[in-house]
Amino acid sequence: MREIPVLEQPVIEEKKDKQSKTLLWIILVISIVCVAPAIGCGAFGFAFAIAGSQPGSTGVGPAVGVIQVEGTILSGTGGGSFGSSMAASDTIIDLIRRANDDPDVKAIVLRINSPGGGAAASDEIHHVLTQVDKPIVVSMGELAASGGYYIAAPADYIYATPHTLTGSIGVISEFIVAEELLDEFGISIEVLKSGTVKDFGSPYREMTDEERAYWQALIDEIYEEFITIVAEGRNMDKESVRELADGRVYNGSQALDLGLVDAIGYYDDAVAKAAELGGITGEPRIIEFTPTPSFFESLYSLQSTNHSSLSLELLQKLLTPTIEFRYLGP
């Protein structure tokens, strides 16, 4: 029987040492090729975000704080950077509080370009605005409708351009019903539930008359709250608001005639009015308040396309019953 040679221990250790070094070199190369560019982009994005998040002003002294509300109003954080079209309520609220706490800021301009969005998110922003102890002037952009108007209502002064679309005072809730489509493909969904309305809003079946009446009553109640918010903010009686609150939008001139805005004007007019209300003389200093993303948020936003997450969010939104202050557009 042939005897199997036994390698001496030093040779084995030498091979292990070479394998470890090889593995380390592989990891290093992968890091340089794949990770380093990501970190570099993240660092650049972080520096860019930090630069963009600093107040857009130099000098000291009394100033007008400017906050952008751009895009659909949704609950949570995010938006305001890298071209996002989302006005996240928690982020907007943070900006409002920062402006209110800044001793140099004597008045705030809220620049609104939004079709509205979630009822709860809009109401959260509105609530915080009512707690601000400084003058608030709204400058409406192309669109300040539904929830966008809801958050404008408590302002001390509102400007709209002649071609701004605003109003759309009302509540909307949409449901997808895919029952017939499922039947066509021979698909049935079995649902086990603890109560008769636990699967309310399910896309797998038609809504019952009782469920429709229940949800409509909820919408009507929130609609009354919307009317109250506008009436209080604009110093109008509720019946006058109700007459124009059928969901339609108005251009700036019509909104002025209806009492929904105070004047036709532009961003510069709003800044000048805010300076006046804040007691600032001369050319006002501007401080722009924008979100401050963390390093990892900046890195993620540059490295991820977010297509899958956006698709999942959209799917979830379509399948979940929601109540919104949102203008659907023509």
Active site residues: 146, 198
**CA-closest candidate to residue 140, choices 123, 121, 157:** 157
The secondary structure of 78-115 as a DSSP string is -BSSTT--EEEHHHHHHHHHHHHH-TTEEEEEEEEEE-
202: which residues sit within 8 A by CB, 6+ positions away? 191
SS3 content of the chain, % helix, strand, coil (to 5): 45, 20, 35
Count CB atoms within 10 A of the CB of residue 59. Answer: 7
Q: How far, in whole angstroms, is CA 244 from its chain's centroid?
A: 27
How far apart (Å, rounded) are the C-alpha atoms in residues 150 and 88?
A: 15
Q: Which residues contact 182 (CB under 8 A, 6 or more apart)?
A: 188, 189, 204
Q: Supply φ then ψ for residue 281, to 5 degrees.
A: -100, 150
The answer to whether the CB of 137 falls within 8 A of the CB of 107 is yes
Q: Give dist(CA 161, CA 263) in Å, integer.
A: 9
Is there a contact between 134 and 108 (Cβ–Cβ < 8 Å)?
yes
